[in-house]
Structure 1
Amino acid sequence: MKKHLLIIIIVLTNLVFAQENKFSTEDIVLNSYTTLAPSSMEQLKWLPNDAEYSYIEHDGKNQILMKGTRSGKKISLVDLEELNSKLIVYEKKSNDRFPKYTWITDSKFVFWIKNILFSYDVRLKEIKKMNEIPTEAEDKSTSFDYKNIAYVLDYNFFVKSGSNDAEQLTHDGSYDFTYGKSVSRNEFGINEGIFWSPSGKKIAFYHEDLRSVTDYPLLKLNTIPAKTELIKYPMAGGKSPKVSLAVYDLEQKKTTWLETIGPEDQYLTSITWAPDEQSIYLGQLNRDQNHLKLYKYSVSSGKQDTLLFEEKNDKYVEPEDGLKFLPNDSEKFIWLSRRDGWKHAYLYTTKGKLIKQLTKGDWEITEFHGFDGAGENIFITSTEAGPDQRQFYRVNIKTVEKNLLTSDAGSHSVDIHSSGFYFIDSYSSLEVPKRVRLINYKGETESILLNSPDPLIGKNIGKTEIFTIKASDNTDLYCRTVFPSDFDATKKYPVIIYVYGGPHAQLITNTWPVGRYSLWFYRMAQEGYIVFTLDNRGSSNRGLEFEQATFRNLGTVEIEDQLKGIEYLTSLPYIDSNRIGVYGWSYGGFMTTSLMLRANNKFKVGVAGGAVIDWNMYEVMYTERYMDTPETNKEGYEKASLLNYVDNLNGKLLLVHGTDDPTVVWQNTLRFAQEAMHKNKKLDYFPYVGHPHGVGGKDAIHLYQKITDYFLENL
């Protein structure tokens, strides 16, 4: 009797322990980037000149700006309490977080508090108000010396020089006629609309004419009756914005518009100032996005000066970077291009002569970091060690000799000092949560700044594996499997496929799992599911041929590759082939719905968030790059439209969508629901009222619980 009681107690204890070590929905939503993420050095950055660094250290409720030296010595510079005591003159409310700061000298940093720019001298312990702009101002941008500020107010463009009154440079700005704002829906590497010259004496800014672009209504439900808010949304095949670029000379008080010859609907990108500020460079890309011309323009006249070169591709060209001028030679620059099928660096003269290709191989540059102090070497991060790796290299411009400066397998994120002699290397892998070290020019470790403990220690977590399988054309497809902690190969397990599958994303990398999705994978593994992910052709950082395999036919090759993953899984003795589910968001929502409808009932359950249903309803720039226009590729659009496959819905499908989504408009999944209604097909649907493309705030708890419960109840 006692023996039986002891066994019961042990079993119950183990059950309680297992439950306590499971991830809750609150853990996933609220703690995935904090207590359940690796330790970090907040706002870690180099000082401008000395090879010393700074970061924010937390001490209870207080936050301290620390300085560290190469030898490992740490010095307190100023804490939040002291900073707040000096800010009280300007604002009554204390700040609860140390502001984002930027060093302008080794002893002085600047920071914004709302609409006021301050400087603080850590030696003199002195704070100064440097400038102030209206509280309603948007898109604020400072010159590199922080003496001048540009901003947008009511869609018009303003420049404020020092303590002088702001100058309003435009007066006809409106909702559909903007100045100084990012254009072309942030495609082509565009994420701002204001470009300061090196000295801060001149400034370039975008103008976007959206008057011919479709108005799209977002339904606002918090009033009675509901109201609509109009946004500009250029759908595939429709009218595209007209973009132009102006230059303003702060000393001469003169605005010059560049005479960008070409079609009105061409795209302008890669804006770069010449070091002497007499010229400005920009790429002009045609609407078909298969022909790029890089021009040099005269700043004084606005006229085209030189056509440096052209890039063409029978599918598409996608410029995402500006020119990188050599610090010791203003007549030479580096251009990043995928013209040979992989993203590499090319050395050019300002007359458009190609001097040499600096990097070569079947791998991609994922980040260009800059130059050393002498301008003799460049620093890059690349996939040369493997598509799932990120390693840091030095490349000599003269000899093109390449040296690896990091060696630990995994993902390295590097910040270079202005001298180009020291680097802060933040590294992680599946085995290493985070390690931050200071390394030198030879790749040798000078000091360890941080070695994060495992934030998931004690949690009920199984192993994660990264491996490859073959696509139908023998291409390697990278995969990841997350196993239950009590995995037993003699048992059968259901599988959840997490999918994205579209451009500009790579899911399988050798890095520590951080974030909501990663913890949700662990949560579902704790519930007895195997979680599987595959990067299909069409996704990023595998070369142009790999990415362009889906051209004009989105949703077909991707499905083929994902089914190769299913073929692999179902060959394993421990996989229950009758219990396979799929989940994804955005392009992943498109893929989830596609797999539920176009994979011969291989999937029993699916959850699709913010899904594109019909590419006719998605934006011009992105869609036409990968699909051409609906007029020139009618067959491709028809084949990709999921409205044409609703009859095939036999499993359990949940669609969720933010009703204020300005990226994938709500109409997509509403049309799908309408078609399911007409065809008497069962469909589960949940609108996240008032949310955009993602669900944030406390409502994310509802979202993740709903997704979790849907799989638990149906798979």
Structure 2
Amino acid sequence: MKLTAYCGALFLLGCLSVQAQVQDEQINQSLSLREQWIHLTRDLMFEPEWAAEGHQFHYKLSVEGGFQFFRDSVQKAKPELAFDHQRISRALNQATGQSFSALQLPFDRFSYSENDQSIEFYYDSKNWSCQLDGTLCKAMERQGQPKAFGVVRDLRIEAYNPLRSSPDGAYTAQIVAHNLVIKHKDGRIQYQSKDGSAVDFYDAQSIQWAPDSSALLVMKVKPGTARMVTRVLSSPLDQLEPKTLTQLYPKPGDAVDIDQPVLVQLDAGKAQRIDNQLFSQPYTLDQVQWQADSQSFTFRYTERGHQLVRVIEVDAKTAQPKALLTERSQSFIDQWGAFYQTLSGPEKGFVWLSERDGWAHLYRYDNKGQLINQITQGNWRVRDVMHLDEKTQQLWFAASGMEPEQDPYFIHYYRINFDGTGLTALTTANATHQVSFSADRQYYIDLYSRVDLPNVAELRRSSDGQLIRTLAKADISRLTQAGFKAPEVFVAKGRDGKTDIWGLIVKPQQFKPEQKYPVIENIYAGPHDSFVPKSFWPFGFHSGGDKVIGMQALADLGFVVVQIDGMGTKNRSKAFHDVAWKNLADSGFPDRILWHKAAAKQFPWYNMAAGVGIYGASAGGQSTVAALLFHPEVYTTGVAYAGCYDNRMDKISWNEQWMGYPVGPHYAASSVTEHAELLQGNLLLINGEQDSNVDPASTMQLVNALIKADKDFDLLLVPGGEHAVGRSVGPIRYVQRRQFDFFQRHLKQQSSDSNKSQL
């Protein structure tokens, strides 16, 4: 009996060892999927760029072995290489110490500069310039004093402070020892302030001359809270001992810079502080602009709390301010999607975007702040404004939800008259569109796709939308032969029983409908956008895990992976969006759970018996933990990356926009750290040691709370890792392997056990 038991144990260990090897091979194959598939498309165009003048354009295109950039024009119709890719590759490799091949350059867009002798692009959080002869690539230094999250100047960095010449050339202005000095061209001092100091200084970057040189506007600044986040770099590359790094990082409730407009009238030789009664509690003052006749200047005022915004005009003679427009909201005014533009024509006035009727629409006002008319209207939303043409009195814009038979998130482009008449669709195909116009707007390129429709790029004439020629039509035959299948779109009703909730389902390549598959949700519920992919490109841009390819790699391990846009996310109605107001813990879960249940009811293979897995990063990390805390009856296994687990610990800009000001009990109510004792299920926390987007202490505070609550969890800290650790930079393969293995060991095993118990 003992020998039999011993042999049985050895046999079991052997089986477990073989099973582990098989799982490791499956994970390694999934981790390699992006590299295996990414170069299998042909003629797939990315967003084109038009020249600043004329009718030339360039674009990135998939070719044999990778990607190349091409240059073309409306007249020539003969694409040629945009530059020598080998030269750029060698120069960039030398500058970065990386190894990029000529067909795998690490950027998707560029612009020509220096009379087409150089190109400029964005890579690794920096702007780069490369000379086309290949002699030099360099990161471009930023001029000026940066503002941390747009609200607190970093006073450790010297402000950009050149001489500012008046339009007529008669005067120059500059900041000297915190004070404003205006000199005549003959050297005489025309005006000099004496009240500037380190804690109440004149800002060099804000100086604006009136067009007729009669006056000057400058901001006098009282600095906000200089909150510094200190991080320890445990494993620096240049020394054995760790280093400390500091970052200016204002958080919700911190004091922001107070900008006080000051008007200097040259003839009178005096300065006047503008009465701030109309803008006494600023979050920001921006879009400062002189009128063309120099009679006044305007600016936009956003009050702290994001529930009141004003357009304010200041008379240049009397220095008296008045509110041309006041917008209020019981929830938030979405400044991440705002639009405001002054008109310089005879009627002057401005165009304003508002959600006052429940949808994001455009309104036209005269120069006295009186509403002339609503330009756009209906149960759909304006997504972006491309151009205002005052000569033709026309406006060009992007919108979604106008086409009743299409996905309400699909973006289409339109033209409309200022008076709201003449609405003309520039795009019609049942897809999401990305339109770019030539500098004179005579032509446009319409790049459209769906998750199941590869990119099509068409050159069209703006006057009548006439197709001139098809520039590119993607061929994915090789990708399809390799096993790619488009995600399945699924729609279910939300918490109100009426609103459609849209999502995607990704199945394993070897999907068998008679089998049951555990479900994993890829979540991001941030209110600043919607996130379910609508366009074809499944790989993301130089990213490993967030797009369809990351979900496919995970699905191939034997899961069904889904992504859903619940209420609280953007790009639908104002009411849909408002669900997030002061309640980020909601994360749309009531809608998501109903969506899961509807899918399980419709598809026999959609197996929720062992609960749903969930993973996400940043706000998605916060939502992942919230799922396990607040909805453990549905969500049982989660992997959370770089989460902002308590909104009081995160950046001021994102959190005050959606959680409001002042900081109150609702912040604690949405905090998963405050509710750590509710944790059920399996949780893996992953964080980068050098996260500059979300204070990494937020993760460690959650860890502390979980330990105090005697809760078991897994933790992976990546030395030197940034906010996107495991997704776009750093040890991607290792981190993703840990995520995949976690779901294999917990959710898949639970699902297997659940299936056995039902037999």
Alignment partners' CA distance in 1, 2:357 and 2:569: 18
Alignment partners' CA distance in 2, 1:701 and 1:74: 37
Kept in 1, the 8 Å contact 2:331–2:581? The answer is yes
Matched residue SS, 2:479: coil
Which is further off, 530-539 or 501-510? 501-510
Matched residue SS, 1:710: helix
2:48 is the alignment partner of 1:44: yes
Alignment partners' CA distance in 2, 1:241 and 1:270: 13
Return closer, same or farther for 1:550/1:79 CA change in 2, 3 Å cut-off. Answer: closer
Matched residue SS, 2:245: strand
Q: Which runs of 5+ in 2 are unaligned?
A: 1-21, 92-99, 147-153, 180-196, 748-759
Paired residue total: 651
CA deviation string 1:594-653 (max 9, x = no partner): 11111134222100111122222233343333333465x42x233322234323323110
Alignment partners' CA distance in 1, 2:610 and 2:632: 13
Matched residue SS, 1:706: helix
In the alignment, which residue of structure 1 is the partner of 2:351?
A: 334
Offset of 1:372 from its aligned partner?
4.8
Query: Of 599, 602, 610, which aligns to 2:642?
Result: 610
Return closer, same or farther for 1:293/1:583 CA change in 2, 3 Å cut-off. Answer: same
Which is further off, 404-413 or 449-458? 449-458
Q: Which runs of 5+ in 1 are unaligned?
A: 1-15, 87-94, 142-150, 182-192
Alignment partners' CA distance in 2, 1:618 and 1:565: 30
CA deviation string 1:325-372 (max 9, x = no partner): 457546132212222221111111222121111100111111111035
CA deviation string 1:398-418 (max 9, x = no partner): 352211111111111111223
In the alignment, which residue of structure 2 is the partner of 1:530?
A: 560
1:701 counterpart letter in structure 2 = R
In the alignment, which residue of structure 2 is the partner of 1:468?
A: 491
2:308 is the alignment partner of 1:291: yes
In the alignment, which residue of structure 1 is the partner of 2:111?
A: 101
Matched residue SS, 2:161: strand
Matched residue SS, 1:661: coil
2:77 is the alignment partner of 1:72: yes
Alignment partners' CA distance in 2, 1:611 and 1:557: 13
Kept in 2, the 8 Å contact 1:333–1:349? The answer is yes
Q: Which has the larger radius of gyration?
A: 2
Offset of 1:102 from its aligned partner?
4.5
Return closer, same or farther for 1:301/1:426 CA change in 2, 3 Å cut-off. Answer: farther
Return closer, same or farther for 1:599/1:425 CA change in 2, 3 Å cut-off. Answer: same
In the alignment, which residue of structure 2 is the partner of 1:687?
A: 717
Offset of 1:683 from its aligned partner?
0.7
2:554 counterpart letter in structure 1 = M
Offset of 1:393 from its aligned partner?
0.9
Alignment partners' CA distance in 2, 1:257 and 1:38: 61
In the alignment, which residue of structure 1 is the partner of 2:605?
A: 574
Alignment partners' CA distance in 2, 1:514 and 1:62: 14
2:612 is the alignment partner of 1:590: no
In the alignment, which residue of structure 2 is the partner of 1:6?
A: none
Matched residue SS, 1:604: strand
Offset of 1:660 from its aligned partner?
2.1
Alignment partners' CA distance in 2, 1:37 and 1:208: 53
2:457 is the alignment partner of 1:429: no
Alignment partners' CA distance in 2, 1:437 and 1:683: 51
Kept in 2, the 8 Å contact 1:152–1:180? The answer is no
Query: Of 329, 332, 345, which aligns to 1:313?
Result: 329
Query: Of 509, 528, 536, which aligns to 1:485?
Result: 509
Alignment partners' CA distance in 2, 1:526 and 1:116: 38
Alignment partners' CA distance in 1, 2:643 and 2:378: 36
Alignment partners' CA distance in 2, 1:487 and 1:61: 29
Query: Of 324, 339, 342, which aligns to 2:341?
Result: 324
Which is further off, 614-623 or 322-331? 322-331
2:300 counterpart letter in structure 1 = G
Query: Of 511, 531, 539, which aligns to 1:514?
Result: 539
In the alignment, which residue of structure 2 is the partner of 1:220?
A: 233
Alignment partners' CA distance in 2, 1:35 and 1:60: 6
Offset of 1:560 from its aligned partner?
1.8
Offset of 1:491 from its aligned partner?
1.4
2:143 is the alignment partner of 1:138: yes
Which is further off, 438-447 or 202-211? 202-211
Kept in 2, the 8 Å contact 1:481–1:530? The answer is yes
In the alignment, which residue of structure 1 is the partner of 2:186?
A: none
Alignment partners' CA distance in 2, 1:564 and 1:274: 52
In the alignment, which residue of structure 2 is the partner of 1:438?
A: 459
Kept in 1, the 8 Å contact 2:291–2:297? The answer is no
Alignment partners' CA distance in 2, 1:245 and 1:119: 41
In the alignment, which residue of structure 2 is the partner of 1:346?
A: 363
Alignment partners' CA distance in 2, 1:706 and 1:179: 52
Offset of 1:698 from its aligned partner?
4.0
In the alignment, which residue of structure 2 is the partner of 1:7?
A: none
Offset of 1:169 from its aligned partner?
3.8
Q: Over the residues paired in the alignment, what is the CA RMSD in angstroms? A: 4.7
2:351 counterpart letter in structure 1 = I
Kept in 1, the 8 Å contact 2:491–2:595? The answer is no
Return closer, same or farther for 1:160/1:586 CA change in 2, 3 Å cut-off. Answer: same
Alignment partners' CA distance in 2, 1:212 and 1:666: 20
Matched residue SS, 2:740: helix
In the alignment, which residue of structure 2 is the partner of 1:670?
A: 700
